[in-house]
Chains A and B, each alone.
Chain A
Amino acid sequence: MQSKGKIAVLGVSITMLVMWGIITIIPLYWMIIGSFQDSYADASMKISMWPEVWSFEPFSRFFDKTMAWRWLLNSLIVSSILTVTNVFFASLAGYAFAKLHFPGRNAIFWILLMTMMIPTQVTLIPLYILVIDVFNLKDSYMGLILPSIVSVGNIFLMKQYMSTLPTSLIHAARIDACSEFGIFYKIILPMAKPGLSVLAIFSFVFHWNDFFWPLLVTESEAMRTIQVGLAGFKFADTTDFGAIMAGATVASLPMIILFFALQRYFLQGITIGAVKG
């Protein structure tokens, strides 16, 4: 009786998972398949689930009509720099908040944390004025990077993570007259590697996919990131579905490849700092 029930549960589970798995994957499948069909040429917008004729035309149209290579380069530059700065500063500050004792520690940390509840819409306008009018950084890498060098969310994540590391080694190193930065660099960073890798991966994906701030701060075609450029392409040329799908594929393929290459980090990384936080 018991085992029969278990088999039934297993059967239902597998059926539901396969069905929902297909539903989940279909948009991505359709995006990729759609970018190999030249719907523009035969003037029907129809994209089928399997192309009758495979064509690279949508890709070449997308790259011909846009500065897509430049956009990809911009995204790569900005995401890479922001990944490095976020990992470095968030781990440094996270370590200080987790392991060092200093006057004002909790007060400063709570002020940081409380602002996380405030939606981005609030800070966006003053930030826009500050970066564009005061610092004069419209349409520049600096303007894209400066406000996102290190996020409070990442500091919080690293604080949670660092507090799980053993304190005894830190004390031992301090007795050996290691400098505080030496302790961080030689002992903490190597120990924290798994956490730092996860933070690096998620930072990179986040900034590669980021849209709102790059939309506001860039103006010329040459300074667009791939997401903003792609959005602009859609609004300029709504009818060429094939090329739009090709652009979407170009924008997301690097992240899909990254996901398959580093799957373990993606799937385990979510739980860092989130449960029992």
Chain B
Amino acid sequence: MVQKLRDHMWAYLFILVPVLLFLVFTLYPIISAFMMSFQRYHVLNPEWIGFDNYKTMFADSVFYKSLWNTFLFTVCTVPVNIAITFMLAYFIFQLRSKWQTFFKAVMYLPAVASGVTISLVWFAMFDPTKDGMINSFLGFFGMEPVMWLSQTSTALFSLMLMTYLGSHGAGIILYLAAMGGIPKSLYEAADIDHASGWAKFSKITWPLLKPTTLYLLVTGVIISFQVFISVYMMTQGGPDFATTTIAYLIYQTAFMFYEFGLASAQSFVLTAIIVVVSIIQFKMFATDIEY
């Protein structure tokens, strides 16, 4: 009994610092943000204003615009990027292990550069003059220069393009690990039955990789719902709110207009969306796979 108590004491000691930090720097802020969303913030005496922040928020057309942009960005990037990731992993899987490592490294490399540097490089590549890198590439095929970031019709697409052509390395590595875990005997059995390549893919490979796909889908959606750095660095939400995402709107509301209460209300809408969408994905996609 005494021994047991001593074990427990140590265990609590081991988690003490992380738990204290969690209480102060995560849990308290969450609760505080929730209260703040019903207040007009002031350092000394915040004023309770009921649902006014939420009313203001739902009356603001930019708020809806930002939700739409975020939705569009997520729907147009996450599935496409998962498809690209899957294809690349599938191609790499065909190679010998030495070349697998080589291509994994190449595909992963840009992920070690920060969001700030990547955004700066793309900002320069999207240069709207005919000498800009992408425009001169298009010019090579006789196409007119495009004002990528400075016109409403292409600004959000430019940010999407950046993710398509960015690093898919982490996802590729996860897919490859999962592909390596599929028993060879399944394919051999399929060969005996003269199964087509497509049948093997749709009946064996794809279903068995579902857990990885689900993982990439859920994390991908959560990340893209919070897209911020590329917007901040490249477009500042413009032109004409064409790239104002919900995360950027929250930043603006909080740290440019100092409307802390309103920003908190916006952030809880974002939370609610993320939680609901994550649950839906689990429900739709999750299947127990045994092999």
Complex alpha-carbon distance, A20 and B178, angstroms: 22
Q: Is the CB of A127 within 8 A of B29?
A: yes
Contact flags B161-177 to A (C-beta < 8 A → 1, else 0): 00001111010011001
Contact flags B252-283 to A (C-beta < 8 A → 1, else 0): 00110000100110111011001100100000
Q: Name the residue on B nearest A263 (C-beta).
A: B105
- Given the interface pairs A24-B167, A47-B124, A270-B173, the reply to whether A17 lies near B270 with Cβ below 8 Å is no
- The interface centre, meaning the residue of B91, B170, B177 with most chain A CB atoms within 10 A of its CB, is B91
The secondary-structure label for the interface of chain B is helix
Which residues of chain A are near B177, meaning CB under 8 Å? 271, 275
- Given the interface pairs A13-B95, A24-B107, A125-B33, the reply to whether A230 lies near B117 with Cβ below 8 Å is yes
29-71 of chain B: CB within 8 A of chain A: 29-30, 32-33, 36, 43
Question: How many Å from the CB of A176 to the closest CB on chain B?
Answer: 14
Interface hit among B12-20, B72-80, B151-159, B182-190: B12-20
Which residues of chain B are near A128, meaning CB under 8 Å? 254-255
Q: Is the CB of A245 within 8 A of B211?
A: no
- Given the interface pairs A47-B133, A234-B120, A256-B112, the reply to whether A96 lies near B28 with Cβ below 8 Å is no
- Given the interface pairs A17-B103, A267-B101, the reply to whether A252 lies near B113 with Cβ below 8 Å is yes
- B83 is an interface residue with CB less than 8 A from chain A: no
- Given the interface pairs A17-B103, A267-B101, the reply to whether A241 lies near B94 with Cβ below 8 Å is no
Identify A211's interface contact among B22, B114, B123, B178, CB under 8 A: B114
Q: Is the CB of A122 within 8 A of B131?
A: no
Complex alpha-carbon distance, A208 and B91, angstroms: 32
Question: How many Å from the CB of B117 to the closest CB on chain A?
Answer: 4
Which residues of chain B are near A27, meaning CB under 8 Å? 110, 118, 121-122, 125, 165
- The interface centre, meaning the residue of A100, A121, A274, A276 with most chain B CB atoms within 10 A of its CB, is A121
Complex alpha-carbon distance, A17 and B264, angstroms: 44
Interface size, chain B (Cβ < 8 Å): 94
84-125 of chain B: CB within 8 A of chain A: 87-88, 90-92, 94-95, 101, 103-110, 112-118, 120-125
Q: Is the CB of B174 within 8 A of A275?
A: yes
Interface size, chain A (Cβ < 8 Å): 93
Complex alpha-carbon distance, A21 and B109, angstroms: 10
Complex alpha-carbon distance, A115 and B90, angstroms: 34
Complex alpha-carbon distance, A45 and B215, angstroms: 42
Q: Is the CB of A248 within 8 A of B121?
A: yes
Which residues of chain A are near B90, meaning CB under 8 Å? 13
- B291 is an interface residue with CB less than 8 A from chain A: no
Question: How many Å from the CB of B27 to the closest CB on chain A?
Answer: 7
Which residues of chain B are near A270, meaning CB under 8 Å? 170, 173-174
239-273 of chain A: CB within 8 A of chain B: 241, 244-245, 247-248, 251-252, 255-256, 258-259, 263, 266-267, 270-271
Question: How many Å from the CB of A97 to the closest CB on chain B?
Answer: 7
- Given the interface pairs A24-B165, A27-B118, A46-B131, the reply to whether A10 lies near B170 with Cβ below 8 Å is no
Complex alpha-carbon distance, A105 and B14, angstroms: 12
- B203 is an interface residue with CB less than 8 A from chain A: no
- A190 is an interface residue with CB less than 8 A from chain B: no
Question: How many Å from the CB of A4 to the closest CB on chain B?
Answer: 13
- B10 is an interface residue with CB less than 8 A from chain A: yes
Which residues of chain B are near A120, meaning CB under 8 Å? 226
- A147 is an interface residue with CB less than 8 A from chain B: yes
7 examples of A-B residue contacts, CB within 8 angstroms: A31-B117, A89-B21, A92-B14, A119-B270, A122-B33, A128-B254, A180-B7
Residues of B within 8 A of A (CB): 6-8, 10-12, 14-15, 17-19, 21-22, 24-30, 32-33, 36, 43, 87-88, 90-92, 94-95, 101, 103-110, 112-118, 120-125, 127, 129, 131-133, 165-168, 170, 173-174, 177-178, 197, 211-212, 215, 222, 225-226, 228-229, 232-233, 247, 250-251, 254-255, 260, 263-264, 266-268, 270-271, 274-275, 278
